[in-house]
Chain A
Amino acid sequence: MQGTINSISIAGMLRLLCSYGKTGSLMVNSGKIKGSIDIIDGEVTGVVAEKCLNPTQNKKDALVQLLLAIEEGSFYFEEKPPAPNKPLGISIEEVILESAREIYEKYYGQISVKDMIFPENEVLKMARLGKGKVLTMTMHSEEWNLMASFNGDSNITTALENTGIAKEKAEIIMYGLVSAGFVRRMRFKIPEVSKIAKESFGNIGVAIVDNEMAKQKIDSTKMGMKNFIGLLNGLENSFAEIVGRARAKEVIEKIWNATK
């Protein structure tokens, strides 16, 4: 199994390998950061950081360093049993959050997670823990509060704003939360309703959308799923008044499909 870092983060890949109980070695190479992570039955048993930004002898810190390979590079998972060492007892989720902390505390402005985070109109919510999963870890209040703000209703922009954390920092924390599997993308995202309305009805379509938002007192930048459902109902009626029920249904269907 191999891939490039811009298609999936090392952190996300490591979590998946561990959660599926894989055995093998994950090789990481981004030029500045190079190393390998040994995994046996989903447990990290060894970490080697040949090159990293802040060399360390500590295995957990070395793993954090390897997870900083975010912007470029490649990884390769060799499904061959590594040296039969004992598990290091490292919580993958904790190490992932720690790597995010490392970015905003030490490498802010040097490492960007922009390409690894979801678009701002996506809706996230807290993920469930798998059956039997035990989690022991440290979380900071900002991390917890941001996680709690992903309520499955508000989009990312609103959730980030509600926490009051600086946007750039909040994005890095969000990257950590997503990579650690604590929040996941909902099936729905808020589509660009005005754009679809414009494609379908021209400027009148945009006017109808803005008018309906004003009627329902919806702020397009802070629209949640409940608002969105209400907006769709209102829009269907408004479109039907102007272009007829059949055409209105067709466009509403188009908007609905864009949420998936």
Chain B
Amino acid sequence: MTEQMIQAYTNTAAILSGILFWAGFLVFGFIAKRYNTVFNKSTFHGLLMTAPSGILIYSMLMIVKFTMVIKDPAINNMLQLTAYAFLLVSALLCLFGISKFSGLLSSLLKYEGSK
């Protein structure tokens, strides 16, 4: 396997993983939204559904980087830096949203009744 093929494989895997992560978190957000509907308590479902879009932006920027013929390495580096910055912010927001939702879930699991 040539170095070029390995590069193509890793790029494709990174982009696909990004899209799958985004889809996974979106489903998670929908589940949180259901808990919000039932219990009328803040589940941060809005955050859980929007935060992963950073992962999607990361994937899109990576696609742009690898498919467009951009000769200028400075622009390429900028694209890569921006993509990873979106990924990092998105991951942090996802972690925050999940920890909040997890708090609600654990309080429900410990619930013993109103009386």
Q: Judge whether A207 and B37 touch: CB under 8 Å.
A: no
Q: Are A210 and B35 in contact (CB under 8 A)?
A: no
Nearest-CB residue, chain B, relative to A208: B38
Picked from A203, A210, A241, the residue with its CB within 8 Å of the CB of B109 is A203
A215, B41: Cα distance in complex, Å = 12
- Any A CB within 8 A of the CB of B39: yes
Q: Does B2 contact A (CB under 8 A)?
A: no
A142-162 interface with B by 8 A CB criterion: none
Number of interface residues of B (CB under 8 A): 13
Q: Is A242 an interface residue (CB 8 A)?
A: yes
Q: Which of A210, A214, A238, A242 contacts B113 (CB 8 A)?
A: A210
Contact check, A206 vs B38: say whether CB atoms are below 8 A apart.
Answer: no
Residue pair A207, B40 in contact (C-beta under 8 Å)? no
- A216 part of interface (Cβ distance < 8 Å): no
- CB closest chain-A residue, reference B34: A241
- Decide: B39 and A211 in contact? CB cutoff 8 A: yes
Q: Given A242-B34, A242-B35: A203 and B40 within 8 A (CB)? A: no
CB pair A203–B34 under 8 Å, yes or no, is no
Task: Say whether B40 contacts A206, CB under 8 Å.
Answer: no
Q: CB distance A207 to B34 under 8 Å?
A: no
| A242 neighbours in B (Cβ, 8 Å) | 34-35, 38
Q: Give Cα A238 to B111, complex, Å.
A: 17
Max chain B C-beta neighbours (<10 A), residue from A208, A215, A241: A241
Q: Is the pair A206, B35 in contact by a Cβ cutoff of 8 Å?
A: no
Chain A CB within 10 A, most for which of B35, B40, B111, B112:
B111
Chain A interface residue count, Cβ-Cβ cutoff 8 angstroms: 14
Is B110 an interface residue when CB atoms closer than 8 A count as contact?
Answer: yes
Mark out the residues of chain A between 166 and 224 whose CB falls within 8 Å of any chain B CB in the assembled complex.
Answer: 194, 202-204, 206-208, 210-211, 214-215
| Cα-based distance from A141 to B84 in the complex (angstroms) | 82
Q: With the chains together, A122 CA to B34 CA distance in Å? A: 34
Are B113 and A241 within 8 A (Cβ)?
no
Q: How far is the CA of A238 from the CA of B36 in the complex (A)?
A: 11
In Å, the complex CA distance between A204 and B112 comes to 9
Closest 7 CB pairs of A and B: A241-B34, A207-B111, A203-B111, A238-B38, A210-B114, A204-B108, A207-B108
Residues in A lying within 8 Å of B, measured CB to CB = 194, 202-204, 206-208, 210-211, 214-215, 238, 241-242
8 contacts between A and B (CB under 8 A): A202-B109, A203-B108, A203-B111, A204-B111, A206-B113, A208-B38, A211-B38, A242-B38
Given contacts A214-B114, A215-B40, A238-B38, 20 further A-B contacts (CB under 8 A): A194-B113, A203-B108, A203-B110, A203-B111, A203-B112, A204-B108, A204-B109, A204-B111, A206-B111, A206-B113, A207-B39, A207-B108, A207-B111, A208-B39, A210-B111, A211-B38, A211-B39, A211-B40, A241-B37, A242-B34
